Amino acid sequence: MLGERVDSWMRGHEPLVDAAATAVLVACWTLFGVAVRGDGAYFLLTLGLLLPLAVRRRYPAPVAGVVLAVAFVQWLTVRDTIGALPADLAVPIVIHAAAAYGKPWASNGALGVGLAGAVLGGLSWPQLATSAEAHLLTGAFLTSVVVAAWAIGTLAGVRRRQAETLADRARLLERTRIAREMHDVVAHSLAVLIAQADGGRYATSPEARANALTTIADYGRQALAETRRVLGVLRDGPTTEPMPGLGDVPALVEQVRSGGLAVSLEIEAPPDVEPGLGLVAYRIVQEGLTNVLKHAGPCAEAEVSVRWGPRQLEIDVRDDGRGTPGTATSGYGLVGMRERANAYGGVVTLEPRPGGGRVLSARIPL
């Protein structure tokens, strides 16, 4: 648990971590230079190799270029004196950074320059008169360090990009889910409100007008409450409030019936189902009734049927209205219903009904 917290904190404060690590390396190798009485070239090259590491993740290609250039200057000027420096550790670090955080050309370029530097190092070190085998071993060791740093950096870059892709996909799915919820809530409520407002406008009796206004107020409050709940997910994260399910379908039908639509309900006693599937069924019925209110025309009648087959949940919403051309296969509501059903391996269809009207059918495997 502690390790996870430390790792999470470090990931959230990468610039600070890089600056602190660079400061530690500079301090250590500066003290080492003082202890061994290094000359001015030692300290200049040490600072030139280490200081760019503080921004290696933000600017991997420029930092790699600077560090590798300083390393080449070191090879040109001091290879016959102090030779290798402790600060040469910066070379595999920047090669790793270029592979992990840079573009492909930066990664490949850093690898190529690093391998060339390994060959030059094998030629110059060790400085004493030794056999050719010693130079070959030195070059092979430096080459292995460069390749290992590049390979580890490449793997880290792949994992980072995969994590970013998964995070982007999760955000997209969450936005899509919230958009579906908002569409279902707003479209259904507005359809009922519009139907009631039209009915109240043409009503002749005060009682009918009062009933229309009461229904409008009730649906307005319900829509406001559901909208606040959905927006609360955006602001505060997942909510603990119960979501509507199959048990709420009769109340939904009764609300629509009280709004003036003649609708009948046939529902079988369902077995215990998970809340997610119950929400899918509720939203499909809700969207089906919304489409009836919006497109079936005045004096339409609707039938809602929820049945449990041997292998699937069967939902049908039928109407006998005239329908509206061009709405049988399009619209965000139908797209949302299909996305909900597809999550459970189901299908949703909306087809013309013989004799007039349409039938919305959903089949979701159990």
Mean pLDDT by 10 residues, the chain (366 residues): 70 83 90 84 89 92 93 79 79 93 92 91 72 84 93 91 82 72 68 68 70 73 71 58 80 80 82 79 86 76 86 88 54 76 86 85 87
- Collapse the DSSP code of 310 into the 3-class scheme (helix H, G, I; strand E, B; otherwise coil) and give the result: coil
Give the pLDDT score at 240.
Answer: 53
* Cα pseudo-dihedral 237, 238, 240, 241, rounded to 10: 100
Q: Which residues contact 275 (CB under 8 A, 6 or more apart)?
A: 242, 243, 245
Q: How far apart are CA 102 and CA 62, in angstroms?
A: 10
Q: What is the CA radius of gyration of the chain?
A: 35
Q: Which residues contact 10 (CB under 8 A, 6 or more apart)?
A: 17
Give the pLDDT score at 331.
Answer: 62
Alpha helices in 265-324 (DSSP H): 275-295
Continuous segment of H or E residues that includes residue 330: none
| pTM higher than the cut 0.85 | no
Give the pLDDT score at 63.
Answer: 94
Give the pLDDT score at 327.
Answer: 47
Q: And the tokens for 116?
A: 């060339």
